[in-house]
Amino acid sequence: MNKPAKRLISLKINGMEYEMAVRPNRTLLEVLREDLMLTGTKEGCDDGSCGSCTVLLDGSPVRSCLLLAVEAENREVTTIEGLAEDEKLHPIQQAFVDHGAIQCGYCSPGMILTAKALLDENPEPSEQDILHAISGNLCRCTGYNKIVTAIKAAGRNGKEGD
Amino acid sequence: MDDLSYVGRSIPRKDGPIKATGRAKYTVDVTLPGMLVGKVLRSPHPHARILSIDTSKATRLPGVKAVVTAADSLKIKHGFVDTPRYPADQYPLAVDRVRHVGEDIAGVAAIDEDTAEEALSLIEVEYEPLAAVFDPEEAMRPDAPEIHPSHPKVNEPYRNIGGKTATSWGDVEKAFAESYLVREDKFYCQMRAHGYMEPQATLAHFDYSGKLNVWTSSMGVFLKRAKLAKTLGLPYGSVRVLKTYVGGAFGGKIDLFHHEYIASLLSMKCHLPVKIVYSREEVFKAARPAQPLIVQIKTGVAKDGTILGQEIHAINDSGAYHGSGVVVIFLAWGFAMAPYRVPSLKYEGYSVYTNNLVRAPQRGHGAPKMRFAAESQFDMIAEELGIDPVEFRLRNVRKPGDILPNGDSVKNFGLRECIERVAERTDFKNRHEAAKRERETGSKVKRGIGIGTTAYFGGSLIYPNSSSALVRLNDDGSVSLLTGALDIGQGCETVLCQIVAEELGVPVEEVQIYAADTETTPVDIGSWISGLTYVTGNAVKKAAEQAMKKLLAAAARELGADVNDLVARNKEIFVSHCPDKTISYAGAVAASIARDRGDSIIGEGHFRTMKDEPFHPSLASTKGRWTENYSSYAQVAEVEVDTETGVVKIAKVTTAHDCGFPVNPALVEGQIDGQVSMGQGHILTEEIRVENGCVINPSFLEYKIPCSLDMVETDYIDVITEQYKRGHHYNTKEVGEGYVSGTVVSVANAVFNATGVRVRKTPIHPHDMLAALDRLRTPKEEKKSGRS
């Protein structure tokens, strides 16, 4: 079997520079999970339909299963591991915990990052804004109700913290 | 109840932070040094004889470390049910015949995914295709292809009968003869996917000490251990199943899955860790989907709506092996008889083999289908009699203390109160009448309201039948809980820690829990028969009580006080009439160790539901007790039907629930929300489509589970019956399964209320809705029900 030659790339993930040799057909999701052991990013479908693998690319949510690692070169990648500072949860993470927005937790990393992108752009979103923003992140446990409550609360908290 | 500190409170789940930060390790995240990638070769045929399997080329491929087929196995069958009547019927690797597309033929373990895939392509299998059948009613015909011989105790001339449940009481014919109105209707429920977000995944490592270590995405570690040990021929002590976080299950991860066996067998062959993770396509095409059911139901009522008799025939397409088919036909009977009085009943359920995928239970396991049939018909009867749907239900609902035909008591059953409260909160009667009047107006969007109810069991006697727990007071007075319970997202770890905190008077955040490891934690009933909070919760309570008793005895001796005068609070024990005399928990533990020849303080607790019953009730005859613990709920759905597009939207679902005492009300709400959403998918959008036994929509792009834009507003009414207020705060009941049912039923009835279209088949496809609306506009003489 002929494998494509590896390419040397530099990835910036959660503020850290990683010099890596990766095959050009590998997705960012594979590189994050398998090479860097950043397993907080989850794979749920491998066809872009579930949103579990969402990471932020220059602050915008992308599906890391649909993005080649080489395409992320020279971009800022934020994964769920880059959100909490030391042991203090990010306000969105705290809101998810406080408002019962987490059950099995498998969709939570992607959902939280999507929420972060939304709140960074619009700290006080309407319910419709939230529903649209997270419409690409499937959750089978919660019915979304408590996730929406948590994102609303995090939005307000963020404003109060300013 | 008022003096409870931790139990009954909405404490945030203990594993929230580890999940929110992405640090929780699911099976897919666990890695071991030297780990290999495992893959499974599957049958492309729905029914075929295997003439030969040649793995020599695959074995020789560089990078391949092990290849296994049935020839490497002990050829021991397993089954979801394994009893004298229904012995295990499925080999973990196909021996000489395959009976469904996707059946497991061989496994490979290789150094990477590409090599494993290539190895699969090098395995040569010669098949002789056989005639196949996919529709259960066709499979029952005497001339259908035989998948397995019909069960020897089934006398009817049907083919492919895997099992039958038959029971009756009263004189149904007499009841029908005396009825004012008799209706007979047939309802169909589709095959669905569980939609757990974490795919099926297993990591197995057979180490050089001869122990098989298994990490697997499951619903209980002890059942997995039992089934792996049996099929692999290992003693239980040589199989260790360890905890991982579980990314959803909903019924779809119980029983033995063949990739768990194959990963284990591969590792036993090469002594290296082997991990198998399904792709989402593989989950749809080869894992077990949820049970479909056909229900034919005939009901006779008096003029005032009192049910006099029912005759029910249920047909389950179990797929190529038993799976849970012989269970769902038993449960469907239970969900027919539990919530309402049925003075005479004749029930027959058939589980029929087809060349489809084997099924697993899904949240509710039979309840959504049986209640959909029964309560759609309730509303049809009520409409014909001119009785309000709420009145009809109140006329027939069981009362607390009613004894069911199987000997169970519904004791503190709150269904009547649930129906009354939900009807009141939603102004049901007025809005139901108003919607009927507005049906004829010109608006293109029709609105309607509907009600659905369920009663559900809470734990039954299925292996491992009972739970044990250990509560350990550490030297410094801190507390550790050891339990075999596996949290699959419902929050059982949090609930069990709340119970320990309550009983021992320690802050809940300080209770350390060590869970779900078959080697180091005691046996547990599992997160799959809706009994965990009741069974494990009471085992934990007993363990904590015993630890407390030992602690107080040590303290009493040390303080020179009577044990009855002691009060424990915040890890301090003091004498009630002399609060200056105190000792810390750490001091009491030290005193116990010093004085009692080294005895540390460990409490143990064991709990079994229906402890005087030897077995699960008969699946064939329904004889024997089922559960001691019936929950109930009533749900009201408000829907909008767009008559131009046929699209149904659920605006709101209000739930009145009697789940016993809610140990953590926020977790109860979370369970209800999730089930409303799952019920929404069931009634509106979800359907696994199959052609010649092959799933043709194996992706979330083509199998639509609800997304956020479909979110349903929810409201809850906690109906706590008097019994729980008198201190019975561990008298908990089911809360994780039955609400799917009430949602499906209430939406179907609301759609009728809005449009006059009666749903007889789920899901409600928009094109079917449009066709039904067209038929209503050009009315034909509908087949009338018999009226005596």
- Condensed to tens digits (0 to 9), the pLDDT of residues B247-262 reads 999 999 999 999 999 9
Location of structure tokens 């020849």? B597
What is the band of B310 on the pLDDT scale with cuts at 50, 70, 90? very high
Find all residues with CB under 8 Å of B716, minimum gap 6, and list them. B654, B655, B656, B657, B668, B669, B672
CA–CA distances in Å: residue B195 to residues B252, B356, B379: 9, 19, 31
pLDDT for the residue numbered B326: 97
How many other C-beta atoms can be found within 10 angstroms of the C-beta atom of residue B722? 10
Query: Apex CA B468: angle with CA B531 and CA B585, to 5°?
Result: 115
List the Cα angle B102/B105/B109 in 5-degree steps: 105
Using CA coordinates, name the residue in chain B closest to A107.
B197
> How distant is the Cα of B491 from the closest Cα of chain A, in angstroms?
7
For chain B positions 260-289, those within 8 Å of chain A (CB to CB) are 279-281
By the CB < 8 Å criterion, does B767 face chain A?
A: no
In this complex, do A145 and B714 lie within 8 Å of one another by their Cβ atoms?
Answer: yes
pLDDT per residue over B636-689, tens digit each?
999 999 999 999 999 999 999 999 999 999 999 999 999 999 999 999 999 999
Residue B788 reports pLDDT greater than 50: no
| Subunit contact B677:A143, Cβ cutoff 8 A | yes
Mean pLDDT score of chain B: 96
Closest Cβ opposite residue B19 in set A37, A102, A142: A102
Residues in chain A: 162
* Residue B779, pLDDT score: 66
The per-residue pLDDT for B728 is: 85
Q: Which residues of A touch B705 (CB under 8 A)?
A: 138, 140
Q: Verify whether the Cβ–Cβ distance A84 to B712 is below 8 Å.
A: no
pLDDT digits (tens, 9 = 90+) for A88-109: 999 999 999 999 999 999 999 9
A103–B28 CB contact, under 8 Å: no
The ranges assigned to domains in chain B are 31-130+196-249+253-286, 293-460+616-777, 462-608
pLDDT digits (tens, 9 = 90+) for B6-18: 999 999 999 999 9
- In degrees, to the nearest 5, what angle opens at C-alpha B196 toward C-alphas B192 and B200? 105
Average pLDDT over residues B163-181: 98
**A39, A45, A104 ranked by CB distance to B29: nearest:** A39
Would the CB atoms of B676 and A143 count as touching at under 8 Å? yes
Cβ-Cβ contacts under 8 Å, A25 against chain B: none
Tell if the CB–CB gap between A89 and B29 is shorter than 8 Å.
no
Contact A140 B674 (CB under 8 A): yes
Cα(A42)–Cα(B359) distance, rounded to whole angstroms?
Answer: 26
- Asked whether B312 and B320 are in contact (CB, 8 A), the reply is no
Looking at chain B, how many residues does it have? 788
pLDDT tens-digit map of A116-125: 999 999 999 9
Q: Tokens 């979800």, residue? A: B686
Does the pLDDT value for residue B482 go beyond 90?
Answer: yes
Query: Which residues are registered as beta bridge partners of A13?
Result: A16, A77
From the options 3.40.640.10, 3.40.50.740, 3.30.830.10, 3.30.365.10, give the CATH code of B293-460+616-777. 3.30.365.10
- Assign B149 a pLDDT band (cuts: 50, 70, 90): very high
Task: Indicate if the pLDDT at residue A81 is higher than 70.
Answer: yes
Give yes or no for B488 touching A (CB within 8 A): yes
Mark which residues 591-650 of B lie under 8 Å from A by CB: none
B-chain residues near A104 (CB < 8 A): 196-198, 245-248, 488-489
Taking an 8 Å cut-off on Cβ atoms, the answer to whether A39 and B708 are in contact is no
Query: What per-residue confidence (pLDDT) applies to A161?
Result: 42
Q: What is the pLDDT of residue B786?
A: 46
Q: Quick check: B31 and A37 CB within 8 A? A: yes
Distance from CA of A116 to the nearest CA of B (A): 13
pLDDT in tens, B375-422: 999 999 999 999 999 999 999 999 999 999 999 999 899 999 999 999
* Best A49, A103, A108, A144 residue to mutate vs chain B (most B CBs within 10 Å): A103
Query: Looking at the partner chain, which of A47, A79, A83 has a beta carbon nearest the beta carbon of B699?
Result: A47
- The yes-or-no answer to whether B293-460+616-777 and B462-608 have a common fold is yes
Contact yes or no for A103 and B669 at CB 8 A:
no
Q: For a pLDDT cut of 90, what percent of chain B falls above it?
A: 93
Cα–Cα distance, B19 to B24 (Å, whole number) = 5
Cβ contact A143–B706 (<8 Å)? yes
Q: Is the pLDDT of residue A160 over 60?
A: no
Is B250 near chain A, with CB under 8 Å? yes
| Least Cα separation, residue B34 to chain A (angstroms) | 13
CATH number of B462-608: 3.30.365.10
Mutation for testing the A interface, residue in B111, B117, B486, B711 having most A CBs under 10 Å: B711
Q: Are B16 and A112 in contact (CB under 8 A)?
A: no
Determine, for residues A141 and B674 on separate chains, whether the beta-carbon distance falls below 8 Å. Answer: yes
| pLDDT tens-place string over residues B524-543 | 999 999 999 999 999 999 99
**Burial grade of B240 (CB within 10 A; 0-12, 13-18, 19 or more):** buried
pLDDT value of position A162: 40
Residues 489-548 of B with CB under 8 A from A: 489-491
* pLDDT over 50 at B787, yes or no: no
Among A80, A134, A141, whose Cβ lies nearest the Cβ of B248? Answer: A141
Query: What are B585-618's pLDDT values in tens digits?
Result: 999 999 999 887 777 899 999 999 998 888 899 9
pLDDT for B597:
72
CA B489 to chain centre: 13
Closest CA to B674 of B743, B747, B764: B743
Q: How far A9 CA sits from the closest chain B CA (Å)?
A: 22
Q: CB–CB of A44 and B197 under 8 A?
A: yes
Contacts of B667 in chain A (CB under 8 A): 100
The arithmetic mean of pLDDT across residues A18-47, rounded, is 97
| B32-76 tens-digit pLDDT | 999 999 999 999 999 999 999 999 999 999 999 999 999 999 999
User: A142 vs B31: CB contact, 8 Å cut-off?
Assistant: no
In angstroms, rounded to a whole number, what is the distance separating the alpha carbons of residues B601 and B29? 36
Task: List chain A residues with CB under 8 Å of B195.
Answer: 138, 140
ipTM of the assembly? 0.97
Cβ separation of A50 and B489 shorter than 8 Å?
no
Please indicate if any CB of chain A lies within 8 Å of the CB of B33: no
Q: What is the DSSP string of B384-436?
A: HHT--HHHHHHHHBPPTTPBPTTS-B-TT--HHHHHHHHHHHTTHHHHHHHHH
Give the domain B31-130+196-249+253-286 fold.
Aldehyde Oxidoreductase; domain 3 (3.90.1170)
User: What is the reported pLDDT for B596?
Assistant: 74
The full set of domains in chain A, from first to last, is 7-82 (3.10.20.30), 91-161 (1.10.150.120)
Chain A residues touching residue B31 (CB < 8 angstroms)? 37
Test A100 with B245 for CB contact under 8 angstroms. no
The span from the CA of B426 to the CA of B635, in Å, is: 10
For the segment A126-143, the average pLDDT, to the nearest whole number, is 98
pLDDT of residue B598: 77
Three-state DSSP class for B159? coil
Q: In degrees, to the nearest 5, what angle opens at C-alpha B241 toward C-alphas B240 and B245? A: 150
8 Å CB contact of A47 and B709: no
